[in-house]
Amino acid sequence: MSILDQIIATKREEVAAAKARVSVSQLEKQGYFARACHSLAMSLVQPASTGIIAEFKRKSPSKGIINDSMGVDEVTRGYVAAGAACLSVLTDTEYFGGTYADFDLARRTNPNTPILRKDFMVDEYQIVEAKSMGADVVLLIAAALSPAEIKTLGTLARSLGMETLLEVHDQEELDRSLGDYISVVGVNNRNLKNFSEQNVEASKVLADKIPAQFVKVSESCISGPEIIKDLKGFGYRGFLIGESFMKTSNPGQALTDFLKQ
């Protein structure tokens, strides 16, 4: 069983437990459910946008502990001050050390910035939950979902006013997953089945395969500003970065330094 299969199996158990605790109709009455969302796509295409989607990430299956000493409020405030176009906040606890409380604090700290709920979405319940948490964008990972599941989850997310970030790693995933329920296409440079790649080749290979109407985002393994310059030449407008910032003692400053070079 790959790590992705393990994560998805755990996620299905967690969702079943969450459904037993809080019903969909309760979710629809609470939190930020009625809030209007910010647009990730619009934020990325602004002429002055940095394109950076800055991630709060404590640990990961590929790297282990990255940063377990800093708070989400301090880190995300630093990211936004440095010019992040969007925040990404992990809500998976088991594998990434994120929590719903992290998301809530990021939302309250940064009311005017789009925030991606970074988790493994496998059930419509999580889409409603994301809206009630105050998410603007949800992630749909093609390696973990069938085309029918992507359509169902994406259609629901869009009907609730959120955007969808479709994540693919190769052309087969891209070709079977696109639809009008997808807002933005992200190429994950990391192969989630075996963590083999540590470069951004996947983004380069897929750049001209992504239809022009979708804003392109490159995700993972972005270790320096020169890589962003290179990817911009391939048409990328968004750059999802976690570890490079989170492994420093001041992630906001690390983003500032990235943007200066």
CA 6/CA 111 separation, integer angstroms: 34
Pair 125, 21: CB distance under 8 Å: no
Of 227, 221, 216, 207, nearest to 182 (Cα)?
216
CA-closest candidate to residue 19, choices 104, 92, 11: 11
Which sequence positions are flagged as catalytic?
Answer: 55, 57, 118, 167, 188, 219-220
State yes or no: residue 163 binds ligand LARABZUK (CB under 6 A).
no
Where in 31-90 is the site for ligand LARABZUK (CB under 6 A)?
Answer: 55, 57, 60-63
Q: Is 102 in the site for ligand LARABZUK (CB under 6 A)?
A: no
Smallest gap from residue 111 Cβ to ligand LARABZUK (A): 24
Out of 177, 210, 219, 236, the only residue in the binding site for ligand LARABZUK (CB under 6 A) is 219
Q: Residue 34 burial by CB count (10 A; 0-12/13-18/19+): exposed, middle or buried?
A: exposed
- Given the complex with ligand LARABZUK, which of 28 and 253 has the nearer CB atom? 253
Main-chain phi, psi angles of 245, to 5 degrees: -85, -45
Contact 59, 65 (CB under 8 A): yes
Provide the minimum distance between the beta carbon of 33 and ligand LARABZUK in the complex, in angstroms, as a whole number: 26
Q: Write out the residues near ligand LARABZUK by the rule CB under 6 A.
A: 3, 55, 57, 60-63, 188, 192, 219-222, 240-244
